[in-house]
A and B are shown apart, each in its own frame.
Chain A
Amino acid sequence: DIQMSQSPSTLSASVGDRVTITCRASQSISSWLAWYQQKPGKAPKLLIYKASSLESGVPSRFSGSGSGTKFTLTISSLQPDDFATYYCQQYNSYRYTFGQGTKLEIK
């Protein structure tokens, strides 16, 4: 199976900060990568697909980049609603795998 690893595991930041989360795949997944946001007690919400495409309705402060084995999610100016846990996920094969998650906390 393709292994996904995210860094950092926890990120402390302030409203207005620019933050970047990194996701690495154990083998090339082309651009078949998605990013999800999850808040406590809620289902994940799709933010980014195909590494850099913004899901409809998602604010433009979210952006994704990368291909092959290294990917990043950037939030350009943190808003209070953005404090949550973020997961990357590869869909290069039907044996989907997720990163371990990055918890974004208020500093």
Chain B
Amino acid sequence: EVQLVESGGGLVQPGGSLRLSCAASGFTFSTYSMNWVRQAPGKGLEWVSYISSSSSTIYYADSVQGRFTISRDNVKNSLFLQMNSLRDEDTAVYYCARLGGYLIDYWGQGTLVTVSS
């Protein structure tokens, strides 16, 4: 069974940093590209970042470019999102999502990040 379990969310002040993790199991993590997708409270879904299986290709949404860094550890079956210079508008549930080909086919349960003073 595919499982994606996010952790690392919490309350942080504006300008602060946070590192999210996603532990993957039930599939060969090293062969799949992964995404981070977020959802602000009461709002829709917003794609945040993409990383290929080998980490050779990475993309970011314009809203987080230069502040967020995606990475992965294929030995530890883990995906990460380093978030710096956090803003109020980064408050959201952050989902780790697996790509089956180009399609998001599995989602984690999400971790809440709250940016507030």
Q: Which residues of A contact B (CB under 8 A)?
A: 32, 34, 36, 42-46, 49-50, 55, 87, 89, 91, 94-101
Residue B27 interfacial (CB < 8 Å): no
Say how far B45's CB is from chain A's closest CB, in angstroms. Answer: 4
Q: How far apart are the CA atoms of A89 and B46 in the complex, in Å?
A: 10
Q: Which of A46, A50, A95 contacts B47 (CB 8 A)?
A: A95
Q: Which residues of B contact A (CB under 8 A)?
A: 35, 37, 44-47, 50, 57, 59, 61, 95, 102-110
**Chain A positions within 8 Å of B107 at CB level:** 43-45
**Chain A positions within 8 Å of B44 at CB level:** 87, 98-101
Say how far B65's CB is from chain A's closest CB, in angstroms. Answer: 11
The reply to whether A32 and B102 contact each other, CB–CB distance below 8 Å, is yes
Q: Which of B47, B57, B102, B104 contacts A97 (CB 8 A)?
A: B47
A91 with B103, Cβ < 8 A, contacts A98-B45, A101-B44 known: yes
The reply to whether B61 and A89 contact each other, CB–CB distance below 8 Å, is no
A98 with B104, Cβ < 8 A, contacts A43-B95, A43-B109, A43-B110 known: no
Say how far B12's CB is from chain A's closest CB, in angstroms. Answer: 22
Q: How far apart are the CA atoms of A34 and B106 in the complex, in Å?
A: 13
Say how far A86's CB is from chain B's closest CB, in angstroms. Answer: 11
A95 with B59, Cβ < 8 A, contacts A43-B108, A43-B110 known: yes
Q: How far apart are the CA atoms of A87 and B46 in the complex, in Å?
A: 11
Say how far A56's CB is from chain B's closest CB, in angstroms. Answer: 10
Q: How far apart are the CA atoms of A69 and B69 in the complex, in Å?
A: 32
**Chain B positions within 8 Å of A91 at CB level:** 102-104
**Chain B positions within 8 Å of A36 at CB level:** 45
The reply to whether A34 and B103 contact each other, CB–CB distance below 8 Å, is yes
**Chain B positions within 8 Å of A94 at CB level:** 50, 57, 59, 102
Q: How far apart are the CA atoms of A32 and B102 in the complex, in Å?
A: 9
The reply to whether B47 and A96 contact each other, CB–CB distance below 8 Å, is yes
A43-B110, A100-B44 given. 19 additional CB < 8 A pairs?
A34-B103, A42-B109, A43-B109, A44-B95, A44-B107, A45-B107, A46-B105, A46-B106, A49-B103, A50-B103, A55-B105, A91-B103, A94-B50, A94-B102, A96-B35, A98-B44, A98-B46, A101-B44, A101-B45
